Structure 1
Amino acid sequence: MRTPRTALIIGAGVVGMASAYALARRGVAVTILDAMPGAGMGASYGNGRQLSYGYTDALASRDLLGKIPRLALGCDPAFRIYPRFDAVSIKWKLQFLRNCTERKFRQNSLNGLMLARKSRDAMAALLAKHDIEFGHRTAGKMLLFDNNAAFSRGRAIMYMKARHQERQMALTYDEATKIEPALNAVAHPVAGVIYSPTEQTGNAAVFADRLGDVVSREYGVSLRFNVVVTGIESDRNHAVVKMDSGDELQADIAIVCSGAAAGKLLRSTNIKAPIYPMKGYSFIAPATKASPQVSITDVVRKLVFTRIGDEMLIAGLADLGDDSADVRPERMADLIASAQAAFPEAADYRATRNHWSGLRPMTPNSLPIISRPSPTLAINAGHGMLGWTLAMGSGEKLAERIFAN
């Protein structure tokens, strides 16, 4: 396949911006299209803000398989499966179940780890070249386990990654509190902690916006917002992107980076990409004297606590099959109540703001689809809960694939 000289990227989140940066550096004339009024305003906006390069565990696992009946009945407030029986939903769920084996869990998690390393290196290279301010810092990350069985499983996964030179360590609760004293205020038992001292944080939405400034100013990328893409037509010579205004744009290649919307858009090209929405929620609250500096993930309750300056961003919940980005008040209340019950002094819960929900684009194996199914069409979508972590590496991998053909 020939190397494109022009590209239309659909989606201006962190993945779309990273893809634009990777291609524009290689001399491709890039135009980015997004339905929102600015960059990073979709799933990138309210995510957990953790660059979790070492925490790439696939969602599908034998552990989750045994919990699915309870989840389907709504017995776990952190994870809900909404009943849907359309062909797309059924096919995705069957593929997901086929990934719920130990062998596939390990394979998928390690493949994610390799991509995360590529992403970490690409982020370091970007920041060495361009001064981009987005609250970036090395905060470290702690995974909290509240029972011995879960902690034992966490250690087994840690040892698996250690064989691939990933730096993590298992700590007792007392050892962890010496590193992060805020853990003394955790309101439930902690059987053990997995600590990754080199993990990072940063505001994904600000990053997308600032990287947009860089690619526009330094590499001539054109940014077009408030543009709703309704379809793509492609043949061996060029791609045509159609918009709801009736306008059309043409380029050598169209690249779909539109997150949870990617599956539906790709179906207009007769490509079936297994991307399915899993809704998450977040809110911001003022930090307190007892707020952690280290990023915290409560594994059982699926809660993420990230400090950005004088604020805490708290994210969580996993609602599979809810394809509306609207905030459900009862689910936001579940998140706030769960966070306050688990970590009552982590934030000032009386002053929560930025109540947000967004759609994570999940694949059955928790790995993004980075492919070029035809000479004039490429895909970089399906990053699930790790879009922020994997964005830079995914952009590089996409560009390498395009330029290798």
Structure 2
Amino acid sequence: MHICILGAGIVGLATAWEVQAQGHTVTVVDRAAPGSGTSSGNGAQLSYSYVAPLADASIWGQLPHLMFSADSPLKLRPQLDPQQWRWGLGFMAACNDRSAARTTQALLQLAAASREGFEAMRAQLQPDCDFAEAGKLVLYGSAAGVEAARRQVALQQSLGGAAQRVVTPDEAVALEPALAGYRGRFAGAVYTASECVADCLKVCQALAAALQARGVQFITAEVQGFEASRGRARAVRTREQGAIAADAFVVAVGATAARFGRMLGAYLPVYPLKGYSITLPVHDTPGAAPVVSVTDTARKTVFARIGQRLRVAGMAELVGEDLRIPPARIATLQAATQAVFPQAAVQGADPQPWAGLRPATPSGLPVVGRAGRAPANVLFNVGHGALGFTLAFGTARQVAHLLAADTALVSA
């Protein structure tokens, strides 16, 4: 079959990789260069084992601080947008222990499949992407946070998750000496030795080059709509290239998923969560910059060492498709870096400020497969939230399986 994949971020490219491996003819369409959107400046963590969903029961107690504190990592700009309100209500409905446990189980299974897919690709392609399996520490600022983390670890291990352990601040510093100056600022941490990091943009660029060498066609164009008849999509209409016909279509368009869903007659519960990052060159001095990946839950900030750079990413804003970068947000990330790793970054270096839109569902589970009243030969692969890099190859394999197994996709 000829499969047209809409979207050339890490999810779309991973899908193209898995689908092309099945022998299909593949065309990838995106309005920008491969990997240049949200994939280009994300948190760089491959969090296969610690997948606690954003929507959990603890959110209720955090709401006053998250909503009204000046230094809150969460920002909500209410808009006359039914999608925003519908998503917000769905998110709050998912903030309970039962929903979080179901989501955790599904994410762990998906992440395990994704690790297998990513490692198979890496063994075959050997991309130069600053990959490291250096482990991860998730820091908690209070004793209550540590106890909640202990329960999450127990849940994950009961579901077959990787080996993890709750550690004291002293044990965390022993694992990552660069945290020494921050020892008194957190109450404990979860350590996972098997977690990884990589530069997602470099992975995207390597995938695009390899796919092109294997005959995959990349078209830079903006999709304006679809041509359909008898319950099937026949082509996508683009501004620059006209109609692009295919036998089946995979929508992997990240934060614009809801808009594409409306074009096709499907409601997709996907809304952009805006995040920011900076990327700093680091000192070579041992113990100055972290080697272990670190997530500070109090600051909602991640620190990932990618080669000789430190990627610092965080925050979640429900502000629509707004990619402006307020200086105050970048200053917050710089202040977090100074507080947690004061000796890490080269002073005066360009922080390379970046903003991206994470395509999130209320529960945290991606939407994979057919949806709503969309044509029978259209599959969706959207809604990965902050776990797009982590889950990309897992959902790509799900799409490839559906293309092989779903007879409605190939019926004329």
TM-score, structure 1 normalization: 0.94
Report the 3-state secondary structure (helix = DSSP H, G, I; strand = E; otherwise coil) of the residue aligned with 1:194.
Answer: strand
Q: What displacement does 1:107 show? A: 0.9
Match of 2:409 in 1: none
CA separation of 1:126 and 1:189: change in aligned 2, threshold 3 A: same
Which residue of 176, 179, 192 maps to 1:180? 176
Q: What displacement does 1:353 show? A: 2.4
> Given the alignment of the two structures, is residue 307 of structure 1 paired with residue 302 of structure 2, yes or no?
no
Q: Please give the per-residue CA displacement for 1:116-152, whole angstroms capped at 9, x wherever unaligned.
A: 0000011111122222221111111111112111011
Match of 2:226 in 1: 232
Structure 1 residues without counterparts, runs of 5 or longer: none
Give the conservation status (yes or no) of the 8 Å contact 2:6–2:251: yes
Q: Distance in 1 between matches of 2:171 and 2:327?
A: 38
CA separation of 1:68 and 1:233: change in aligned 2, threshold 3 A: farther
> Given the alignment of the two structures, is residue 398 of structure 1 paired with residue 399 of structure 2, yes or no?
yes
Match of 1:284 in 2: 279
Match of 1:162 in 2: 157
Q: What displacement does 1:345 show? A: 2.4
CA separation of 1:123 and 1:153: change in aligned 2, threshold 3 A: same
Q: How does 1:29-108 map to 2 (within 5 A)?
A: 29-36=25-32, 38-108=33-103
Q: Distance in 2 between matches of 1:310 and 1:403?
A: 42
Q: How does 1:121-140 map to 2 (within 5 A)?
A: 121-140=116-135
Q: Which amino acid aligns with 2:110?
A: L
> Given the alignment of the two structures, is residue 14 of structure 1 paired with residue 10 of structure 2, yes or no?
yes
Q: What displacement does 1:349 show? A: 4.9
Q: Please give the per-residue CA displacement for 1:62-88, whole angstroms capped at 9, x wherever unaligned.
A: 111233344333544211122224211
Give the conservation status (yes or no) of the 8 Å contact 2:255–2:359: yes
Structure 1 window deviating more from structure 2 (395-404 vs 339-348): it is 339-348
Structure 2 residues without counterparts, runs of 5 or longer: 407-412
Q: Distance in 1 between matches of 2:91 and 2:71?
A: 19
Which residue of 198, 208, 222 maps to 1:202? 198
Q: Distance in 1 between matches of 2:330 and 2:260?
A: 29
Q: Distance in 2 between matches of 1:151 and 1:348?
A: 32
Q: Distance in 1 between matches of 2:55 and 2:95?
A: 5
Match of 1:216 in 2: 212
TM-score, structure 2 normalization: 0.93
Give the conservation status (yes or no) of the 8 Å contact 2:117–2:393: yes
Q: What displacement does 1:332 show? A: 1.7
Q: Distance in 2 between matches of 1:256 and 1:11?
A: 7
Structure 1 window deviating more from structure 2 (170-179 vs 12-21): it is 170-179
Q: What displacement does 1:303 show? A: 1.0
Q: Distance in 2 between matches of 1:339 and 1:77?
A: 16
Give the conservation status (yes or no) of the 8 Å contact 1:13–1:41: yes
Give the conservation status (yes or no) of the 8 Å contact 2:30–2:219: yes
Q: What displacement does 1:188 show? A: 4.6
Structure 1 window deviating more from structure 2 (330-339 vs 204-213): it is 330-339
Q: Distance in 1 between matches of 2:179 and 2:333?
A: 19
Give the conservation status (yes or no) of the 8 Å contact 1:237–1:252: no
Which residue of 321, 330, 339 maps to 1:341? 339
CA separation of 1:348 and 1:77: change in aligned 2, threshold 3 A: farther
Match of 1:381 in 2: 382
RMSD: 1.6
Q: Distance in 2 between matches of 1:182 and 1:362?
A: 32
What percent of counterpart residues are identical? 34
Q: Distance in 2 between matches of 1:403 and 1:394?
A: 14
Q: Distance in 1 between matches of 2:49 and 2:347?
A: 29
CA separation of 1:78 and 1:343: change in aligned 2, threshold 3 A: farther
Match of 2:329 in 1: 331
Kindly tell me the number of residue pairs found equivalent between the two proteins: 398
Q: Please give the per-residue CA displacement for 1:76-116, whole angstroms capped at 9, x wherever unaligned.
A: 42111222242111111111111011100111122111100
Report the 3-state secondary structure (helix = DSSP H, G, I; strand = E; otherwise coil) of the residue aligned with 1:162.
Answer: helix
Report the 3-state secondary structure (helix = DSSP H, G, I; strand = E; otherwise coil) of the residue aligned with 1:268.
Answer: helix
Report the 3-state secondary structure (helix = DSSP H, G, I; strand = E; otherwise coil) of the residue aligned with 1:388.
Answer: helix
Q: Which amino acid aligns with 1:89?
A: Q
Match of 1:153 in 2: 148
Structure 1 window deviating more from structure 2 (292-301 vs 236-245): it is 236-245
